[in-house]
């Protein structure tokens, strides 16, 4: 397997993948060679360095030998059919899988050259640096203000009430929500619309000044207008954060991400610049997926 290379993976690998003749309409029969990822999975300025990652649910191997770099301040999209492991992989990055008893993670996962799964590692500190936004908006049943202030409070980021007010206002501004809610910060968050709730969750995540924001299908429960707002927000946030987004919408991946990673049955099949993935995919599975033959 290739290590750290920033150029396009050599063409020589391609024939190996194409050994098995592929029948039309049955792309799933393509053999995927484990640990082989075509395209450009590695980066120079890596925020996350993930090598030979495997995830097990009991006896089930959900993630099969994936290696990937996530660069600083890039937006990378994970796409793939349902059950391909993209969410599982995402949840490894801030150890959200810890709460699942039967889940085991193997391999080397590093954030800024420090092992994420080091037993001595403080998960609280990790999650403060790697925030997460979920599929369904999950605001706490508290006021809008308390939702955003939740993270800063538990991490002791503000010494005075005025500091906290400032953090809350800044986060809401960054999330493009300030003008909509500034007059009703005491109103309960669960009374907002779905799109507002999701932007509130983003504001809540960035209120602790994370370095990375993980987004697990953040728009799947939203209508097109709310989706457009969240996508706009992602574009703005990409200036200061590293963003990993799982999405089912290929248009969304094309719109917001710099690089796109295609997952298939627990394998990482192809990673490349987004426009390349969508215009000239190297792997036939990727092509089948983006042209809508399955998934």
Partner 1 sequence: MQPANLLLLTLVLAVVAYGLGYARSRALAMPLGGIRHLKSLPFYYGARAALWCGIPALIVLALWAAFQGKVIQMLVIGSLPPEMIPADEGSASLLLSKISNVASGALPPGFVEAPIVEAAERLKALREQSRMLMTALVVSVAVLAGFLGWLRIRPRINAREQVESILKWLFFACAALAILTTLGIIFSVAFETFRFFEKISFVEFFFGTSWSPQTALRADQVAAEGAFGMIPLFTGTLLISAIAMLVAVPVGLLSAIYLSEYANKRVRSIVKPLLEMLAGIPTVVYGFFAALTVAPFISNLAASLGIEASSQSALAAGGVMGIMIIPFVSSLSDDVINAVPQSLRDGSLALGATQSETMKKVIFPAALPGIMGGILLAVSRAIGETMIVVMAAGLAANLTANPLETVTTVTVQIVTLLTGDQEFDSAKTLAAFALGAMLFLATLLLNVIALKIVRKYREQYD
| Comparison of 14 and 154: residue with beta carbon closer to partner 1 | 154
Report how far apart, in Å, the C-alpha atoms of 36 and of each of 67, 127, 274, 284, 295 are: 9, 30, 19, 14, 21
Distance CA 24, CA 249 (A): 24
Which one, 141 or 292, has the nearer CB to partner 1? 141
Which of 2, 138, 209, 249 is close enough to bind partner 1 by CB under 8 A? 138
Interface with partner 1, residue 141, by CB under 8 A: yes
Q: How far is the CB of 94 from partner 1 (least distance, A)?
A: 6
**Looking only at residues 147 through 166 of this chain, which bind partner 1 when binding is defined by CB under 8 A?**
150-151, 154-155
CB of 201 to partner 1, least distance (A): 7
CA nearest 41: which of 270, 224, 250, 208? 270
Task: List all residues 6 or more positions away from 216 whose beta carbon is below 8 Å from its beta carbon.
Answer: 87, 90, 91, 132, 133, 134, 135, 246
Residue range at the interface with partner 1 (CB under 8 A); choices 9-17, 44-52, 130-138, 224-232? 130-138
Nearest to partner 1 of 45, 125 (CB atom): 125
3-state secondary structure of 150: helix
Cβ(23)–Cβ(29) below 8 Å: yes
How many residues at the interface with partner 1, by CB under 8 A? 30
- Binding residue (CB under 8 A) for partner 1 from 56, 57, 117, 134: 134
Q: For the window 31-70, what string marks contact with partner 1 as x by the rule CB under 8 A? A: ----------------------------------------
Closest CA to 132 of 59, 202, 65: 202
Measured from the CB atom, the residue of 126 and 181 that comes closer to partner 1 is: 126
Distance between start and end Cα atoms, the chain: 27
Q: In Å, how far are 116, 197, 228 from 37, measured between CA atoms?
A: 23, 37, 31
Query: x/- binding map, residues 238-267, to partner 1, per CB under 8 A?
Result: ------------------------------
How far are the Cα atoms of 16, 88, 90, 99 from residue 63, in angstroms, in the given order? 22, 8, 11, 18
Distance (Å, rounded) from C-alpha 248 to C-alpha 79? Answer: 6
Residue number with CB closer to partner 1 (155 or 255) = 155
Q: Which residues bind partner 1 (CB under 8 A)?
A: 94, 96, 99, 101, 123-128, 131-132, 134, 136, 138-142, 150-151, 154-155, 188, 190-191, 201, 204-205, 208
């Amino acid at each position: 397997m290739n290590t750290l290379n920033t150029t396009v993976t050599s063409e020589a690998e391609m024939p190996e993948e194409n050994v098995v003749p592929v029948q039309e309409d049955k792309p799933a029969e393509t053999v995927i060679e484990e640990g082989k990822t075509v395209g450009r999975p590695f980066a120079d300025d890596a925020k996350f360095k993930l090598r030979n990652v495997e995830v097990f649910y009991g006896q089930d191997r959900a993630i099969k030998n994936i290696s990937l770099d996530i660069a600083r301040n890039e937006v990378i999209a994970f796409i793939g059919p349902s059950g391909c492991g993209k969410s599982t992989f995402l949840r490894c990055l801030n150890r959200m899988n810890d709460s699942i008893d039967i889940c085991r993670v193997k391999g080397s996962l590093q954030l800024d050259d420090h092992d994420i799964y080091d037993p001595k590692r403080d998960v609280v500190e990790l999650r403060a640096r790697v925030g997460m936004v979920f599929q369904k908006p999950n605001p706490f049943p508290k006021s809008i203000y308390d939702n955003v202030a939740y993270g800063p409070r538990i991490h002791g980021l503000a010494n005075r009430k005025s500091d906290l007010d400032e953090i809350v206002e800044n986060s809401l501004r960054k999330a493009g929500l300030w003008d909509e809610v500034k007059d009703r910060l005491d109103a309960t968050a669960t009374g907002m619309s779905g799109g507002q709730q999701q932007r509130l969750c983003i504001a809540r995540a960035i209120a602790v000044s994370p370095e990375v924001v993980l987004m697990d299908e953040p728009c799947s429960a939203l209508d097109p207008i709310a989706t457009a707002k969240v996508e706009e927000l992602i574009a703005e946030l990409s200036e200061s954060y590293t963003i990993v987004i799982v999405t089912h919408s290929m248009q969304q991946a094309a719109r917001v991400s710099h690089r796109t990673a295609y997952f298939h049955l627990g394998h990482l099949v192809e990673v490349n610049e987004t426009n390349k993935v969508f215009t000239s995919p190297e792997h036939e599975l990727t092509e089948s997926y983006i042209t809508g033959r399955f998934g």
